[in-house]
């Protein structure tokens, strides 16, 4: 509670949290509040914003605003799914390695370090381009999570092994707690704030990676994402036609979401870190 | 008096301003003077203001630490109220130098000992010649019993803890400071290394490299061998100041007595003398304290102790802060 | 012998580690594309078989199968056939061995789209552009970002208050968004700079003054799109590292010794750089990836575009070739960073040398 | 004849770290016996191996060679290590890291009952925690709802001791319990150690680098130096008639109030 009060004193936290909540609300409530239609043409290609189409139309004459909300939903979905996988897998590997040590830890560490230096975008390109069946949004999210967990594993492992060295873990052992109890009660609570920060960063990474893949033409076939909107705008000459509404709002949404997450992360770091160092 | 004091601290008060606007009066009216060749010990529990006193005595006020009032003089010259650059160049390391508590982390891990030492000299003397400095360092380190060939070219990580602490002492005293403030210089060391460090400090005093010394510790038995006089600090104030003999074997102030009573020793016969711990905790310096600061924990407290502010009195030729001490 | 050369031992140790990583990368490069159903020969045949009768189509297909190492070939270059007269397929294992040998010789196979062009030939044309764009942006962006971050940490006050949010914003904007923004504003709306390409289309690449100046003109926007973001991201990291260093005991001690401010600033900068260098190793892959995507926005004739075109036309050999090249470059850069850290940080040297 | 007055017995116990040429023996071929209901101090400089030895007694580390017996049986023989920990308990050096900062002190003291084969009722647990707190001179209500970081180092160390009063083990291994608290809180910690021995008949293994403290509390002193036990005997013998140079050095280096420890001005 005191922690939360300290957070609320930080203007950066307020800014990051409200910006993120805003995008989240837009994505969650958008379809309920507005009448969205991403299938029917509402006019000609690249019509500027009007009362009928608030943010104009795309190259097919579809309503940009509807596309945008749908795209934001997909991007956030990818971010959360990829972020969750990367965080959960990374935490499991990191905590196991940091607490248990031994041969398996050594192997995991080598594996982690190995995949840490091989660019994950490259691995994603290799996998995605060979998938002939096409890539659903969920599959892309899974793939992103599966290639980015190494970063979380490394970060969490370092923290876990420093906590393992604390006397309270030895005390828990001679109090008769088993490995599960020690990890759950005596190690994870210390890591929770840190894992949360890892999750935030991994979510942002997920959103950015999906957009990058969409721009390479490796985006989802079954959904509209913010990256895909940009890709369509780029390939269909929206830039040269001066149709700013076809790409600017999508860019603002991506940047705002990522910025909100980064700001949240730094403000949390400011509050958590002095405690961690203690 | 024939010899004027080297170091004079007069009614010094210093406080911290916290982020939430609270004022913590960590040093509250401390006065003492040091003569040439003298070592004054300062003893007290953690949180009594010892460490704040160090910065305050060096005239180095970096926020959140602020000077409230008082004066500090070295050889009759005040070092308080200078601008930061003059304080750095003329006072720090040159007039007043300090030996820090945790020597383990006090040396820049990526800098060789000789480079740090050279930086230190050059920072106070722009014209010094680099080659000449190397010779000077070699000479000084040999003189104080450090293997110059080995130590000067080492990185801190290559030195064992005790050696690191002695290197820190060597660097701190390079410019022959008039006053050295040693802040718990041995508390992280084991007893054998501790002795070597104390030996080195004595040698520096005897070679007149150091003019005088303030030795801060929470180990009273150590002060018995190190200092000629002892000041006992409690909650930002000195509560007793006298010769080592007076304070250790014949203390008059209740806190000093309690502190002495809590010490142990390995003497035969000592086993029967039971040490007694001081219960409770020192007062919070963030609040204004009325009356005696030790009254809450004092075994000899009388009803009016909590009401009356305690002033320094002279009892049996030493300064005591207790109205009932005799 | 190695015992007496801790530095050499360190270098060799790291080199061995990176070699293993490289082999893993090559393995991934080989197996991942082959996990899918895609078969390069089918793709080519779909393109060329029109108008051919079955017999000649079969002959052509066999030719391609040989070329892509999908059927076994005997010592005389003849396809080995089974009893039923069908060509024997090469096992995945021996394909891999051949692939390894070829990769190490710098041969990345043949392109499908631009058959019979070799992949290495196609990539060779793209490498200079990508190198020219990425090397300076990442190296200078990293350096300048670190200097600015250190300054912000050291000065605090107004400079930091203005700089920090700006840097945070820059680090959050994806390179491709910033690229689109630059194109829209400075190329489409104002026409100050060209929107797409690497040089004026009327010129042929050569080391001539008109070509170089044209290339420089086309360079500005792509450079900025990546450079400013690297600066922002690095500055954020450096700032917090420096704030940490400023609170350490050794800085406090140096201050109490009266050591000059600029010396202390140097201590702080150097020690904060070391973790930043380690951080670079981790983030390099992301940076390179981001820059590749930015190339696409500008249709810059580098590897990013090459990958994009290859993806659009299912030209797998080119995709894997590019991927292998990028990975190798990132590994080499990481290796360099690793060695630099070992060189600059006596703590690592001490651990490596066993004291 | 069974030696049931021997708690611990070490026969040629060693503990090595690292492999090959980098291998280092933290504890090197150590043999000793610790008698029941005694306070035994293991004294040595930092890095002499005393903490590793303590960890082996606690079954937190295993010897790499030799045998370490508790009650005549190898320590690791029981499959459930909790059997060992019901009998042998510990107090650690750093009071600030000894408790989990996410739970209240009281909850953590209560969690000690985890070790018992049959947990008492909640009411009984509360009462026993209160009683243990009174044993270390802390008013039970004083720590209600308090978290570890709200107490001082000396208080925290007493909480660790309160835990021992709850568990009432047969043996307590106290690893430098006084080195990180103020000099003036040391006395009270030693008092509680002696109280544990006198009131609960506990065997205590006291690890310290200060031979003065060891002298004060123990019935027997072991001097450790570079992984070996170089001298052992009753405190008076060890401190008054030291045989080993390491012991002499340790004694000589203690800045005792009553002896001449160091000369300020060596004879010119």
- Name the residue facing A166 among D97, D102, D103 (closest C-beta): D97
CB D182 within 8 Å of CB D16:
no
Q: Kindly list the residues from chain C whose CB atom is less than 8 angstroms away from the CB atom of residue B99.
A: none
Q: Mean pLDDT, chain A, as a whole number? A: 84
Q: What is the ipTM of this complex?
A: 0.83
For residue A277, what pLDDT is reported?
A: 37
Q: Kindly list the residues from chain D whose CB atom is less than 8 angstroms away from the CB atom of residue A179.
A: none
Assess whether pLDDT exceeds 90 at residue D224. yes
Assess whether pLDDT exceeds 70 at residue A273. no
Cβ–Cβ pairs < 8 A, chains A and C: 142
C34 to A130: CB separation less than 8 angstroms, yes or no: yes
The residue with greater pLDDT, D222 or C59, is D222
Mean per-residue pLDDT for B143-149?
Answer: 86
The residue with greater pLDDT, A19 or B309, is A19
B188 close contact with D: CB closer than 8 A: no
B266 to D265: CB separation less than 8 angstroms, yes or no: no
For residue C36, what pLDDT is reported?
A: 63
Cβ–Cβ pairs < 8 A, chains B and D: 116
| Residue B255: closest C-alpha in chain D | D184
B259 close contact with D: CB closer than 8 A: yes
Assess whether pLDDT exceeds 60 at residue A274. no
- How many Cβ atoms sit within 10 Å of the Cβ of residue B302? 12
Distance from CA of D55 to the nearest CA of A (A): 10
Q: Kindly list the residues from chain D whose CB atom is less than 8 angstroms away from the CB atom of residue A174.
A: 58, 60, 85, 89-90
Q: How far apart are CA C108 and CA C2, in angstroms?
A: 36
Distance from CA of C193 to the nearest CA of A (A): 13
For residue C39, what pLDDT is reported?
A: 67
- Split at pLDDT 50, 70, 90, the class of D266 is very low
Which neighbouring-strand residues pair with A220? none
Assess whether pLDDT exceeds 90 at residue C119. no
Assess whether pLDDT exceeds 60 at residue D201. yes
Assess whether pLDDT exceeds 90 at residue B185. no
Using CB atoms, list chains with 3+ pairs below 8 Å to chain A: C, D
Q: Kindly list the residues from chain B whose CB atom is less than 8 angstroms away from the CB atom of residue D45.
A: 190-192
Q: Which residues on chain D place their C-beta less than 8 Å from a C-beta of chain A? A: 58, 60, 82, 85, 89-90, 92-94, 97-103, 111-112, 114-115, 149
- Name the residue facing C249 among B100, B111, B155 (closest C-beta): B100
Distance from CA of C334 to the nearest CA of A (A): 7
For residue D173, what pLDDT is reported?
A: 94
- Split at pLDDT 50, 70, 90, the class of C37 is low
Q: How far apart are CA D237 and CA B28, in angstroms?
A: 48
Mean per-residue pLDDT for B253-269?
Answer: 73
Assess whether pLDDT exceeds 50 at residue C355. no
Q: How far apart are CA D146 and CA B281, in angstroms?
A: 16
A117 to C281: CB separation less than 8 angstroms, yes or no: yes
A217 to C33: CB separation less than 8 angstroms, yes or no: no
The residue with greater pLDDT, D128 or A57, is D128
Element (H, E) at C16: helix C6-35
Assess whether pLDDT exceeds 80 at residue D14. yes
HSE of A30 in the Cβ direction (CA atoms, 13 Å)? Answer: 20
- Split at pLDDT 50, 70, 90, the class of D1 is very low
Q: Mean pLDDT, chain B, as a whole number? A: 85
Mean per-residue pLDDT for D243-257?
Answer: 84
Mean per-residue pLDDT for D103-122?
Answer: 88
For residue B2, what pLDDT is reported?
A: 59
- Residues sharing a CB contact under 8 Å with residue A217, sequence separation 6 or more, in sequence order: A231, C308, C311, C312
User: What backbone phi and psi angles, to 5 degrees, belong to C212?
Assistant: -65, -40
Q: Mean pLDDT, chain C, as a whole number? A: 81
Question: A126-152, pLDDT tens digit by residue?
Answer: 888 777 667 888 888 998 999 888 889
Mean per-residue pLDDT for C9-26?
Answer: 84
Q: Kindly list the residues from chain D whose CB atom is less than 8 angstroms away from the CB atom of residue B270.
A: 216, 258
CB B146 within 8 Å of CB B164:
no
**Of C256, C266, C275, C341, which to mutate for an interface test with B (greatest number of B Cβ within 10 Å)?**
C256
For residue D9, what pLDDT is reported?
A: 92
Question: C199-241, pLDDT tens digit by residue?
Answer: 777 777 777 887 788 888 888 888 888 888 889 988 988 988 8
D16: three-class secondary structure by DSSP = strand
Distances (CA, A) of A232 to A53, A59, A67, A131, C177: 18, 8, 12, 21, 14
- Split at pLDDT 50, 70, 90, the class of C4 is low
Q: Mean pLDDT, chain D, as a whole number? A: 86
A167 to D60: CB separation less than 8 angstroms, yes or no: no
How is residue C315 written in tokens?
């030209």
- Split at pLDDT 50, 70, 90, the class of D268 is very low
- Split at pLDDT 50, 70, 90, the class of D265 is low
- Name the residue facing C347 among B97, B109, B171 (closest C-beta): B109
What angle, 0 to 180 degrees and rounded to 10, lies between the N-to-C axes of helices A2-9 and A248-277? Answer: 130
Element (H, E) at D137: none
How is residue C301 written in tokens?
């004739």
B94 to C258: CB separation less than 8 angstroms, yes or no: yes
Percent share of chain C, pLDDT over 90: 4
Question: A204-213, pLDDT tens digit by residue?
Answer: 999 999 998 8
| Residue B157: closest C-alpha in chain C | C347
CB D66 within 8 Å of CB D32:
no
- Split at pLDDT 50, 70, 90, the class of C353 is very low
- Split at pLDDT 50, 70, 90, the class of B272 is low
B191 to D254: CB separation less than 8 angstroms, yes or no: yes
The residue with greater pLDDT, C60 or A220, is A220
Assess whether pLDDT exceeds 70 at residue B160. yes
| Residue B84: closest C-alpha in chain C | C258
Q: How far apart are CA D222 and CA C99, in angstroms?
A: 67
Q: How far apart are CA C287 and CA B291, in angstroms?
A: 65
How is residue D83 written in tokens?
């059997």
HSE of A170 in the Cβ direction (CA atoms, 13 Å)? Answer: 23
B207 close contact with D: CB closer than 8 A: no
Q: In what order do the strands lie in the sheet with D39-43?
A: D88-91, D171-175, D203-208, D39-43, D220-225, D228-233
- Name the residue facing B92 among C249, C257, C355 (closest C-beta): C257
- Name the residue facing D99 among A168, A173, A189 (closest C-beta): A168
For residue D8, what pLDDT is reported?
A: 92
A174 to D90: CB separation less than 8 angstroms, yes or no: yes
Closest CA to B57 of B12, B15, B24: B12
Using CB atoms, list chains with 3+ pairs below 8 Å to chain D: A, B
Assess whether pLDDT exceeds 50 at residue B263. yes
For residue A132, what pLDDT is reported?
A: 64
B236 DSSP 8-state letter: T
Question: C58-94, pLDDT tens digit by residue?
Answer: 777 777 777 777 777 777 777 777 777 777 777 778 8
Question: A38-59, pLDDT tens digit by residue?
Answer: 777 777 877 788 877 777 777 7
For residue D267, what pLDDT is reported?
A: 38
**Of A1, A102, A166, A167, which to mutate for an interface test with D (greatest number of D Cβ within 10 Å)?**
A167
Distances (CA, A) of B21 to A139, B28, B176, C112: 54, 19, 40, 72
- The DSSP line for chain A is -HHHHHHHH-HHHHHHHHHHHHHHHHHHHHHHHS---SSSB-SSTTPPP-SSSTT-B-TTSBBHHHHHHHHHHHHHHHHHHHHHHHHHHHHHHHHHHHHH-HHHHHHHHHHHHHHHHS-HHHHHHHHHHH-TT---HHHHHHHHHHHHHHHHHHHHHHHHHHHHTSHHHHHHHHTT--HHHIIIIIIHHHHHHHHHHHHHHHHHHHHHHHHHHHHTT-S-SSS--HHHHHHHHHHTTTTTTT-GGGTHHHHHHHHHHHHHHHHHHHHHHHHHHHHHH-
D254 DSSP 8-state letter: S
For residue A275, what pLDDT is reported?
A: 42
- Split at pLDDT 50, 70, 90, the class of B296 is confident
- How many Cβ atoms sit within 10 Å of the Cβ of residue C351? 14
CB C153 within 8 Å of CB C239:
yes
Mean per-residue pLDDT for B275-287?
Answer: 76
Surface-to-core class of residue C262, CB atoms within 10 Å of its CB (0-12 exposed, 13-18 middle, 19+ buried): exposed
HSE of A109 in the Cβ direction (CA atoms, 13 Å)? Answer: 18
How is residue A219 written in tokens?
């985006």
Assess whether pLDDT exceeds 50 at residue D239. yes
Question: B119-140, pLDDT tens digit by residue?
Answer: 999 998 888 888 889 899 999 9
Question: B82-117, pLDDT tens digit by residue?
Answer: 888 888 888 898 899 999 876 678 899 889 999 999
Q: How far apart are CA C282 and CA C288, in angstroms?
A: 11
Query: Cα dihedral sign for D44, D47, D48, D50?
Result: positive
For residue C40, what pLDDT is reported?
A: 67
For residue C104, what pLDDT is reported?
A: 79
| Residue B245: closest C-alpha in chain D | D257
- Name the residue facing A174 among D85, D99, D100 (closest C-beta): D85
Distance from CA of C331 to the nearest CA of A (A): 7
- The DSSP line for C230-251 is HHHHHHHHHHHHHHHHHTSHHH
């Amino acid at each position: 509670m005191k922690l939360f009060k300290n957070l609320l004193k930080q203007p950066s936290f307020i800014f990051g949290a409200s910006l993120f909540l805003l995008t989240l609300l837009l994505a969650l409530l958008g379809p309920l509040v507005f009448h969205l239609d991403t299938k029917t043409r509402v006019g000609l290609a690249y019509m500027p914003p009007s009362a009928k189409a608030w943010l104009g139309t795309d190259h097919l004459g579809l309503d940009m605003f509807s596309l945008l909300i749908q795209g934001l939903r997909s991007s956030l979905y990818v971010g959360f799914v990829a972020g969750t996988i990367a965080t959960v897998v990374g935490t499991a590997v990191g905590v196991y390695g940091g607490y248990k040590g031994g041969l398996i830890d050594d192997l995991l560490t080598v594996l982690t370090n190995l995949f840490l230096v091989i660019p994950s975008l490259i691995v994603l390109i290799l996998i995605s381009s060979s998938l002939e069946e096409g890539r659903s949004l969920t599959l892309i999210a899974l793939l992103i999570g599966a290639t980015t967990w190494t970063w979380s594993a490394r970060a969490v492992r370092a923290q876990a092994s420093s906590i393992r060295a604390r006397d309270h873990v030895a005390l828990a052992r001679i109090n008769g707690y088993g490995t599960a109890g020690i990890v759950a009660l005596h190690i994870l609570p210390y890591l929770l704030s840190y894992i949360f920060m890892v999750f935030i960063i991994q979510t942002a990474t997920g959103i950015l990676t999906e957009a990058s893949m969409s721009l390479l033409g490796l985006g989802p076939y079954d959904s509209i994402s913010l990256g895909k909107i940009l890709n369509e705008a780029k390939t269909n000459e929206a830039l040269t036609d001066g149709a700013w509404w076809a790409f600017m709002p999508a860019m603002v949404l991506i940047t705002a979401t990522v910025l909100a997450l980064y700001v949240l992360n730094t403000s949390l770091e400011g509050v958590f870190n002095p405690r961690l160092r203690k | 008096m024939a010899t004027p004091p080297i170091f004079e601290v007069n009614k010094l008060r210093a406080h911290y301003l916290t982020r939430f606007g609270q004022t913590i009066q960590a040093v509250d009216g401390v006065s003492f003077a040091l003569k040439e060749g003298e070592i004054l010990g300062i003893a007290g529990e953690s949180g009594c203001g010892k460490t704040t006193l160090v910065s305050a005595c060096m005239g180095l006020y970096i926020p959140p630490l602020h000077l409230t009032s008082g004066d500090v003089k070295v050889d009759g010259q005040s070092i308080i109220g200078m601008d930061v650059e003059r304080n750095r160049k003329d006072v720090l390391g040159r007039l007043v130098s300090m030996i820090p508590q945790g020597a383990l982390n006090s040396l820049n891990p990526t800098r060789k000992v000789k480079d740090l030492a050279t930086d230190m000299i050059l920072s106070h003397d722009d014209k010094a010649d680099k080659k000449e400095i190397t010779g000077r360092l070699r000479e000084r380190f040999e003189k104080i019993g450090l293997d110059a060939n080995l130590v000067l070219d080492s990185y801190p990580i290559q030195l064992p803890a005790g050696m690191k602490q002695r290197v820190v002492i060597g660097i701190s005293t390079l410019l022959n400071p008039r006053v050295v403030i040693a802040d718990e210089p041995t508390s992280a060391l084991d007893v054998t290394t501790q002795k070597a460090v104390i030996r080195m400090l004595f040698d520096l005093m005897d070679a007149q490299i150091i003019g005088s010394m303030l030795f801060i510790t929470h180990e009273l038995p150590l002060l018995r061998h190190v200092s000629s006089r002892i000041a006992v600090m409690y909650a930002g104030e000195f509560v007793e100041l006298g010769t080592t003999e007076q304070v250790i074997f014949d203390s008059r102030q209740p806190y000093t007595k309690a502190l002495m009573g809590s010490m142990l020793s390995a003497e035969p016969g000592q086993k029967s003398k039971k040490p007694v711990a001081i219960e409770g905790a020192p007062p919070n310096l963030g609040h204004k304290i009325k009356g005696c600061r030790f009254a809450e924990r004092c075994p000899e407290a009388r009803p009016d102790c909590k009401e009356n502010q305690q002033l320094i009195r002279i009892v049996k030729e030493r300064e005591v802060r207790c109205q009932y001490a005799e | 012998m190695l015992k007496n050369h801790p530095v050499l031992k360190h270098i060799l140790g790291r080199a061995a580690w990176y070699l293993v990583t490289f082999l893993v990368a090559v393995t991934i490069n080989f197996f991942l594309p082959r996990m899918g159903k895609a078969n390069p020969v089918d793709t080519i045949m779909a393109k060329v078989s029109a108008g051919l009768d079955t017999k000649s189509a079969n002959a052509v297909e066999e030719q391609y199968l040989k070329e892509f190492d999908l059927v076994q070939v005997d010592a005389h270059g003849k396809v080995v056939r089974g009893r039923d007269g069908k060509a024997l397929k090469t096992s995945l294992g021996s394909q891999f061995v051949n692939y390894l040998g070829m990769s190490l010789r710098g041969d990345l196979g043949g392109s499908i789209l631009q058959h019979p062009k070799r992949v290495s030939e196609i990539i060779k044309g793209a490498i200079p552009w990508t190198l020219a764009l990425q090397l300076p942006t990442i190296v200078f962006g990293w350096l300048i970002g670190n200097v600015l971050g250190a300054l912000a940490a050291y000065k605090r006050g107004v400079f930091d208050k203005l700089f920090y949010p700006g840097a945070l914003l820059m680090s959050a904007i994806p390179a491709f968004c910033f690229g689109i923004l630059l194109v829209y504003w400075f190329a489409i709306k104002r026409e100050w700079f060209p929107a797409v390409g690497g040089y004026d289309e009327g010129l042929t690449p050569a080391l001539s003054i008109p070509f170089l100046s044209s290339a420089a003109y086309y360079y500005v926007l792509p450079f900025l799109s990546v450079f400013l973001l690297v600066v922002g991201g690095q500055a954020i990291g450096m700032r917090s590292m420096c704030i940490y260093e400023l609170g350490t005991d050794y800085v406090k001690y140096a201050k109490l010794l009266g050591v000059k401010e600029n010396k202390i600033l140097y201590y702080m900068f150097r020690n904060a750089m070391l973790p930043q260098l380690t951080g670079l190793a981790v983030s390099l892959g992301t940076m390179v990836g981001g820059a590749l995507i930015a190339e696409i926005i500008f249709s810059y004739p580098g590897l990013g575009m090459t990958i994009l075109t290859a993806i659009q036309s299912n030209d797998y050999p080119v995709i894997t070739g590019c991927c292998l090249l990028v990975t190798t470059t990132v590994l080499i850069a990481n290796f360099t960073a690793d060695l630099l850290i070992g060189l600059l940080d006596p703590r690592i040297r001490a651990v490596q040398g066993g004291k | 004849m069974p030696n049931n007055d021997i708690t611990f017995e070490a026969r040629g116990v060693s503990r090595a770290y690292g492999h090959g040429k980098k291998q280092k023996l933290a504890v090197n071929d150590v043999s000793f016996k610790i008698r029941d209901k005694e306070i035994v101090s293991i004294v040595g400089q930092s890095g002499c191996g005393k903490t590793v030895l303590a960890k082996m007694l606690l079954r937190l580390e295993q010897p790499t060679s030799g045998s370490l017996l508790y009650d005549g049986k190898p320590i690791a023989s029981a499959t459930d290590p909790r059997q060992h920990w019901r009998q042998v308990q510990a107090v650690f050096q750093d009071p600030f890291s000894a408790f989990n900062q996410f739970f209240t002190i009281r909850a953590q003291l209560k969690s000690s009952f985890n070790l018992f084969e049959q947990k008492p009722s909640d009411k009984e647990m509360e009462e026993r925690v209160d009683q243990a707190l009174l044993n270390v001179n802390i008013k039970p209500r004083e720590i209600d709802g308090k978290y570890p970081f709200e107490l001082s180092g000396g208080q925290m160390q007493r909480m660790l001791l309160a835990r021992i009063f709850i568990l009432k083990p047969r043996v307590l291994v106290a690893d430098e319990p006084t080195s990180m608290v103020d000099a003036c809180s040391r006395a009270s910690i030693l008092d509680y150690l002696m109280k544990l021995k006198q009131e609960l008949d506990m065997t205590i293994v006291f690890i310290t680098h200060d031979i003065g403290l060891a002298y004060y509390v123990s019935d027997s002193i072991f001097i450790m130096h570079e992984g070996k036990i170089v001298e052992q005997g009753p405190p008076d013998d060890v401190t008054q008639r030291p045989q080993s140079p390491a012991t002499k050095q340790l004694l000589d280096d203690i800045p005792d109030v009553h002896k001449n420890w160091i000369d300020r001005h060596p004879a010119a």
